[in-house]
Amino acid sequence: MNLTTLIAKRLLIGLGILFVVSLLVFVGTEILPGDVANAILGQGATPELLANVRERLGLNDPAHIRYFRWLASMLTGDFGTSLVNGRPIAEQLGERVYNTALLAGTTAAIAVPLAVCLGLICALKPNGPVDRVISTVSLTLISVPDFLVGIVLVSIFAVTLGWLPAIANLRPGADFITIARVLVLPVTALVFTVLAHMVRMTRTSILGVLASPATEMAILKGIPRTRILLVHALPNAIAPIINVIALNMAYLISGIVVIETMFNFSGLGRLAVQAVATRDIPVVQLTAMIFCTVYVLLNLLADIVSIAANPRLRYPK
Amino acid sequence: MSNAEPAGLRRLASELTPTAIVCLTIIALAAFIAIFAPAIAPYDEGTILTNESFASPGNGMLLGSDYLGRDIASRLGFGIRTTLSVALAISVIAFLIGSAFGFFAAIMGGWTDTVVSRTVDALISFPAIMIALIVVSSLGSSFLVLIVTVAVIDSTRVYRVARALGMDIVVQDYIEAARVRGEGTGWIIWHELLPNALGPLAAEFGIRFTYAILFVSALSFLGLGVQPPHSDLGLMVKENMQGLLYGSFSPLYPALAIAMVTVSTNILVDWYLKSTDANLPEEL
């Protein structure tokens, strides 16, 4: 099978997954008890009012028709109105998406290269003192709740030293210095939450490649270990490392939700949490779809890069 | 099989490292607090003792008061009780579901395996936190919703581990022999698969327990998990976050309590895997 067909096939599978995801999001939020009409009217719901609202929103149509209408309107960029403030969701979405993308992007830009470097350093001398320290610290960081790192950072740098703001209030049109100051603490907290997994998994994949006969051959030829690591092992470990990075985006997503809430950061994650708390169903559906789509796309990208990097994956068993 | 277990435990005990002993002690202490919280806590979790928010330690309050003027030390005890019991319930249920389906898929193979595995794949294609948010948004948060939701999310990972372990065992000769003898699927799972997969599964249980603690705490921290007036470690962090700005360390205590239990559990799992030479199937 050549590369293009294989990638096309993956893309189709990805589309299929997204379809299933949208179906599950819809079923999860609409079929379960307590429909949107109830949520809008709340305590003041009389049967007549309920019937009225249901008619207006088209809730009396069969579920599959509502699903396809919802899907079609989302695909055409019509995100509906928030139940809480009655305004179009699209209005506040742009800023939120931008803020979260900024937070996640900065985190990834710092965490990914750092994690690969630390993983390589560990693999250079497995079970040596440096590896032990990094491995122990990363195991500890994995086991610690996301908000603990945030609390420690806030109490040191915002409360005790007063260097940085404890609340990350990102106003539109803020200058670079302000944005940078606001982002330092949330980004640092997020880097800590995703870094540890990536370091450990990078170390494991590199050590896996180092155990191969090809590496043994290189050692026997007398090539220095650093060169083996960078020239022989790293290229072969790229596929698993990219997989690791994609997998860790899941941690990044849950981390983002927690850290945004902690720092009152006006992003997509906090929007999702607020929507769940106020039962703003259209906003929950939209934010869940955005997060899930990004997640599925990242995994798809990782799949495709792995296939491109490792010819053996082109011929599935 | 039954003769081997005490010897295994004894061998394990002989390999205790100082770190492992410290971790075991911390977990035992946490378990003790969780079980006896109502007896040893000086006050009830909901009693408001002072008008002062974030009072400093003293006046019979070991760690001071929280944002409502309740005793932090007592709430910490009850919080450990809630968090640990919810997490334990989640891990046990996740294990029952996950390993039953995992072994079943491994032994049946064919289309049974395909159907169950694809269903699990569908669940895994969601970020876990999004599943929780969707369920809580439509059902609201109660102990039942929380436990069942997180247990189902968690069981997908148990399923993958159990299936991978089962796959390795199913091809062994003694399974063939049992099948030829005419043993049923249930018998083979219970008498052949389970005992042989028990070591790695025990390690996986530790990992899932940690994950459950962290996940429930994160949800409670977001206000979507355990609801007030119950005391939960994640909820305590959320409630007392503002205290940080007044120079109180109140949110730090529950967060540290979580970290101590989870870090100890993970270090123990690591030690257990090393000293038994057991290996978990790679989760890639």
> What pLDDT digit, counting tens, does each position of B38-56 carry?
888 777 777 776 777 777 7
Of A146, A155, A292, the CB nearest to B126: A292
Q: Do B133 and A17 count as a contact with CB atoms less than 8 A apart?
A: no
Distance CA A34, CA A30 (A): 8
Q: Which chain A residue lies closest to B240 (C-alpha atoms)? A: A151
In chain B, residues with a C-beta closer than 8 Å to the C-beta of A270 are none
Q: Do B130 and A151 count as a contact with CB atoms less than 8 A apart?
A: no
What band does A299 get if pLDDT is binned at 50, 70 and 90?
Answer: confident
Amino acid at B155: S
**Do residues B250 and B66 lie in contact, with contact meaning Cβ atoms separated by under 8 Å?**
yes
Of B127, B214, B244, the CB nearest to A291: B127
**Do residues B138 and A34 lie in contact, with contact meaning Cβ atoms separated by under 8 Å?**
yes
Beta-bridged to residue B219, according to DSSP, are none
User: Which of A257, A286, A290 best probes binding to B when mutated, by most B CB atoms within 10 angstroms?
Assistant: A257
Best CA proximity match to B213, nearest among B237, B229, B191: B237
In chain B, residues with a C-beta closer than 8 Å to the C-beta of A29 are 134, 137-138
The CATH architecture of the domain made up of B4-275 is Orthogonal Bundle (1.10)
DSSP-derived letter for residue B197 is: H
Beta-bridged to residue B48, according to DSSP, are B70
Q: Do B138 and A147 count as a contact with CB atoms less than 8 A apart?
A: no
* Most confidently predicted of B29-38, B136-145, B210-219: B210-219
3-state secondary structure of A169: coil
Query: To which H or E segment does residue B81 belong?
Result: helix B72-108
**ipTM of the complex, rounded to two decimals:** 0.80
Q: What's the pTM value of the predicted model, to 2 decimals?
A: 0.84
Share of chain B above pLDDT 70, in %: 93
- Average pLDDT of every residue of chain B: 83
Taking only the tens place, the pLDDT of each residue in A191-231 is 988 888 888 888 888 888 878 888 888 888 888 888 887 88
**Do residues B104 and B188 lie in contact, with contact meaning Cβ atoms separated by under 8 Å?**
no
Q: What is the pLDDT of residue A236?
A: 78
Residue A158 clears pLDDT 80, i.e. is over it: no
CA distance A308 to chain B (A): 18
Taking only the tens place, the pLDDT of each residue in B172-223 is 888 888 888 888 888 888 888 888 888 888 888 888 999 999 999 999 998 8
Mean pLDDT calculated for residue range A284-311: 82
Taking only the tens place, the pLDDT of each residue in A280-294 is 888 888 888 888 888
Distance CA B97, CA B200 (A): 17
A225 touches chain B (CB under 8 A): no
Share of chain A above pLDDT 90, in %: 2
Taking only the tens place, the pLDDT of each residue in B123-132 is 887 788 888 8
Domain ranges of chain B: 4-275
Q: Do B137 and A276 count as a contact with CB atoms less than 8 A apart?
A: yes
Residue A315 clears pLDDT 70, i.e. is over it: no
User: Where is average pLDDT lowest: A27-41, B83-97, B175-189?
Assistant: A27-41
User: Which of A23, A143, A295 best probes binding to B when mutated, by most B CB atoms within 10 angstroms?
Assistant: A143
**Do residues B233 and B80 lie in contact, with contact meaning Cβ atoms separated by under 8 Å?**
yes
Q: Which of 137-176 (A) contact B at CB < 8 A?
A: 139-140, 142-148, 151-152, 154-155, 158-159, 166
Residues 6+ apart with CB under 8 A from A52: none
What band does A316 get if pLDDT is binned at 50, 70 and 90?
Answer: low
Residues 6+ apart with CB under 8 A from B127: A250, A253, A254, A291, A292, A295
